[in-house]
């Protein structure tokens, strides 16, 4: 089995589609991992920190992560239509849609990392006591 993703004979639009699909797979994999981490962080908060505000933030983040995952899976389904494009306007639509989803993912990732940092710093503070 070849490990190459792109070939010389492929059109630019086909290469872009494959690149975007691969990127989306990475996003969904990351969101699944974040969901697992959130379960651990919620358990840690329950066992060690007992901070109601932090607990609420973690639950909200888990809900947001679930919503983002759903949006990415719906986007993956809709993305299949990009193969059908036969003009620049159609290509531009899918390109802009992909950029919108990239920005949503990156913003969610920043928010998650900030919350995770808050939990980890709180664990360190408790460990020093």
Both structure tokens of 77: 């389904």
For 51, the 3-state DSSP assignment is coil
Alpha helices in 1-129 (DSSP H): 12-44, 52-79, 88-128
- Delimit the domains of the chain by residue range: 19-128
Taking only the tens place, the pLDDT of each residue in 41-53 is: 999 999 999 999 9
- pTM of the predicted model as reported, rounded to 2 decimal places: 0.87
Question: How far is residue 111's CA from residue 117's CA, in Å, rounded to a whole number?
Answer: 10
- The set of residues, in sequence order, having a beta carbon less than 8 Å from that of 69 and lying 6+ positions away, is 28, 31, 32, 35
Q: How many CB atoms lie within 10 A of CB 13?
A: 17
- Per-block mean pLDDT, blocks of 10 residues, the chain (129 long): 64 81 97 98 94 97 98 93 82 90 98 98 89
Give the pLDDT score at 86: 82
């Amino acid at each position: 089995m070849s490990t190459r993703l792109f070939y010389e004979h492929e059109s630019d639009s086909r290469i872009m589609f494959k690149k975007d699909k691969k990127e989306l797979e990475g996003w969904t994999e990351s969101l699944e991992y974040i969901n697992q981490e959130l379960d651990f962080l919620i358990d840690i908060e329950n066992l060690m920190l007992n901070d109601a505000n932090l607990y609420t933030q973690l639950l909200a983040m888990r809900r947001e992560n679930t919503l983002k995952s759903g949006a990415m899976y719906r986007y993956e389904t809709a993305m299949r239509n990009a193969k059908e494009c036969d003009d620049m306007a159609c290509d531009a639509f899918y390109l802009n849609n992909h950029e919108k989803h990239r920005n949503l993912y990156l913003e969610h990732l920043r928010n998650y990392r900030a919350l995770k940092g808050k939990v980890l710093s709180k664990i360190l503070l408790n460990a020093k006591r």
